[in-house]
Amino acid sequence: MIVYLHGFNSSPQSHKAQVMQRFMAERGLAHEYACPALPPLAGDAMKAIQPLVSKKPCLIGSSLGGFYATYLAEQHGLRAVLINPAIDPHIGLRAYLGPQQNLHTGKPYELTEAHLAQWKRLYVPRITPQRYLLIVETGDEVLDYRKAVERYAGAEQLVIPGGDHSLQSFPQHLARILEFSRAPSL
């Protein structure tokens, strides 16, 4: 099973989530794919993901979803594909405190210190590199790809020149992601 975790202010309607869903369906694997809608508060997001974690999926996490995937992979011994992952959202998203709106649903909310505090509690200082496939593009205008390369040193890494935070090359990696997801958990 593959569980896709979308990024900050995103949803299951995001481009990459939809591309992955179609890819799985075209292979007769639609029943092995899930993408839960993640609420803004980390604690609520974990509650939304928890029922899926018991199925021992491979996680795909994009941006903030990559941060969540790292936490869950280390807590539950799972494998994870990380796409331009957020490393420390409790620091990086501080600049966005205040009114926010989901890009797909339009639902407004207030990003507060409580959000930052919950993300800080989920930060995992040490990771198991063998659990991860890291895919980043060097042109990411939102997150510094070098921080991800450093944090996930020892993991399998695909560092693609150019691109942006949306990971323009995502469709080119779908077969590798599926292959990685089929390997046994560590």
Q: Indicate which CATH number applies to the domain containing 72.
A: 3.40.50.1820
Q: What pLDDT score was predicted for residue 104?
A: 84
Element (H, E) at 156: strand 156-160
On average, the pLDDT of the chain sits at 94
Q: What pLDDT score was predicted for residue 165?
A: 87
User: How many domains does the structure of the chain reveal?
Assistant: 1
Between 113-122 and 42-53, two packed helices, what is the crossing angle to 10 degrees? 40
Q: Identify the CA nearest to 152 among candidates 126, 173, 120, 175.
A: 126
Q: What is the DSSP letter of 135?
A: E
Q: What pLDDT score was predicted for residue 172?
A: 96
Sheet of 58-62: strand order equals 33-34, 2-5, 58-62, 80-83, 132-137, 156-160
Residues of the chain with pLDDT under 70: 185-186
Q: How far apart are the first and last CA of the chain?
A: 15
Q: What pLDDT score was predicted for residue 138?
A: 95
Q: Identify the CA nearest to 4 among candidates 15, 154, 126.
A: 15
Predicted structure pTM score: 0.94
Q: What pLDDT score was predicted for residue 20?
A: 97
Q: What pLDDT score was predicted for residue 53?
A: 94
Q: Which two tokens stand for residue 103?
A: 């890009």
Q: What pLDDT score was predicted for residue 29?
A: 95
Q: What pLDDT score was predicted for residue 185?
A: 65
Report CA dihedral (101, 42, 83, 108) to the nearest 10 degrees: 0
- Which distant-in-sequence residues (6+ apart) come within 8 Å of 103 by Cβ? 9, 10, 11, 14
Provide the domain limits for residue 106: 2-182
Task: Using DSSP, state whether 179 is helix, strand or coil.
Answer: helix
